[in-house]
């Protein structure tokens, strides 16, 4: 009986450090500085969340902007394109209104999920991702003003990717 109790406690202790990643996935850290577009001062931010979702934030509503496409580049070579062609207002709502550091109220927060596209372009098993050691990874976001028919590009140049394969993992805390 004591042996079973000790064995059970060891199993419970070990389960504290084991977790399951349900499927292969990418994570992104976007360290590019805040964008400033003189023609679109109501646009606060276009960046990536840790889960690879694209986040777009506005100070006031814009009906005439379309998320056109996103290019993935290694150095100067385009390795994949995501064609979106959706009005920004039609993207998924994300979070609540908040007040930015400059005192302006951010009223529109939209997101666009990209995890499947990261897996398609960079490899479901990290094949392309593994080759990034020798090159820099960039993402270009194309947004079109439907009133002027002008497309502007937002370059995200200071990003870091991490690939995590699905399956059981062991968490080892730093002591």
pLDDT for 135 equals 57
pLDDT for 134 equals 57
Token representation of residue 12: 């419970």
Domain count, the chain: 1
What 3-state class would DSSP assign to 22? coil
Q: Are 46 and 154 contacting, i.e. CB atoms less than 8 angstroms apart? A: yes
Residue 175 lies in a domain: no
Residue 110 lies in a domain: yes
Domain span at residue 49? Answer: 24-168
C-alpha–C-alpha distance, residues 113 and 111, integer Å: 7
pLDDT for 84 equals 96
- Block means of pLDDT (10 residues each) for the chain, 175 residues, are 85 77 84 75 84 88 88 89 94 84 82 93 80 74 93 86 80 70
Residue 85 lies in a domain: yes
């Amino acid at each position: 009986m004591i042996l079973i109790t000790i064995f059970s406690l060891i199993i419970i202790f070990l389960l504290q450090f084991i977790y399951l990643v349900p499927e292969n996935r990418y994570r992104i850290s976007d360290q590019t500085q805040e964008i400033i577009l003189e023609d679109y001062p109501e646009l606060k931010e276009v960046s990536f969340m840790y889960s690879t979702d694209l986040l777009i934030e506005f100070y006031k509503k814009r009906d005439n902007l379309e998320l056109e496409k996103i290019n993935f580049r290694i150095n100067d070579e385009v390795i994949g394109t995501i064609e979106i062609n959706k009005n920004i207002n039609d993207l998924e709502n994300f979070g609540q209104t908040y007040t930015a550091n400059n005192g302006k109220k951010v009223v529109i927060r939209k997101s666009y999920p990209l995890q499947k596209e990261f897996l398609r372009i960079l490899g479901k098993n990290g094949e392309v991702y593994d080759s990034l050691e020798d090159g820099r990874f960039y993402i270009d976001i194309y947004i079109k003003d439907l009133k002027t028919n002008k497309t502007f590009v937002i370059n995200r140049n200071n990003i870091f990717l991490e690939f995590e394969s699905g399956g059981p993992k062991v968490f080892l805390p730093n002591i």
